[in-house]
Amino acid sequence: MPSTPKISKETLLKKALDILEREGYEAVTIKRLAQETGCSTQPISWQFGGMEKLREALGDYALAEALRVTEADADGTAMERFARSGERYLELAINRPRLFCFVYLGGSGKRISGGLTDLTLCGHDETLLGAIAQEAGISPEDAGRLVETMVIYNHGMACMIAAGLVRESRETAFRMLRRAGAAFLISLGVSRERAHALSGVEEDA
């Protein structure tokens, strides 16, 4: 019976994610991970059973990390919580673009498996939609359209930032997101003043 490896699977996955974020997904190999951790390839192969299983485990680990850093806390109104989740999604693209691309642009094969529905509804349940509808004075159906539209807009902007096509500061990206939210609320019949207040848009912006 093989002895227990001295390097834990958690440590190996953290190192693998570090390599991915520094050098890209193609740099993550058992040999490279062994060099990074100062061990032979044998305990790594024993832990994961080969490169394919290592990649699968890294996909799960990266997804969990992305969800951890983008999860909004429970404080504030529903609109505030929804806005924070969008801002943290943008921050992930700005601060950790390789992790963002790996998880949300198909590199891991773990995230957007359900297409548009998965992308727009993940993390946003009926309770949140009902609260947004009540706060904005719109129908639950319009609240669903608001969430769908803003998630698509947010995802598109985050993809362009992560890919290096758009180079915006954190503050500018957040301001663009808030303005888009206000504009869509106005299109749903919410007054300009109310839409700006709900979205956190400065009146003189």
**127-146, pLDDT tens digit by residue?**
888 999 999 999 999 998 99
| 67-71, 160-164, 200-204: least confident range | 200-204
Q: What is the pTM of this model?
A: 0.84
- Note the pLDDT tens digit of each residue in 55-108: 999 999 999 999 898 887 778 898 998 899 899 999 999 999 999 999 988 765
Contacts 24+ apart (CB under 8 A), 138-146: 138/185, 138/188, 138/189, 138/190, 142/188, 145/188, 146/181, 146/184, 146/185, 146/188
Please spell the DSSP secondary structure of 54-122, one letter per residue.
Answer: HHHHHHHHHHHHHHHHHPPPS-S-HHHHHHHHHHHHHHHHHH-HHHHHHHHSSSSSSS--SHHHHHHHT
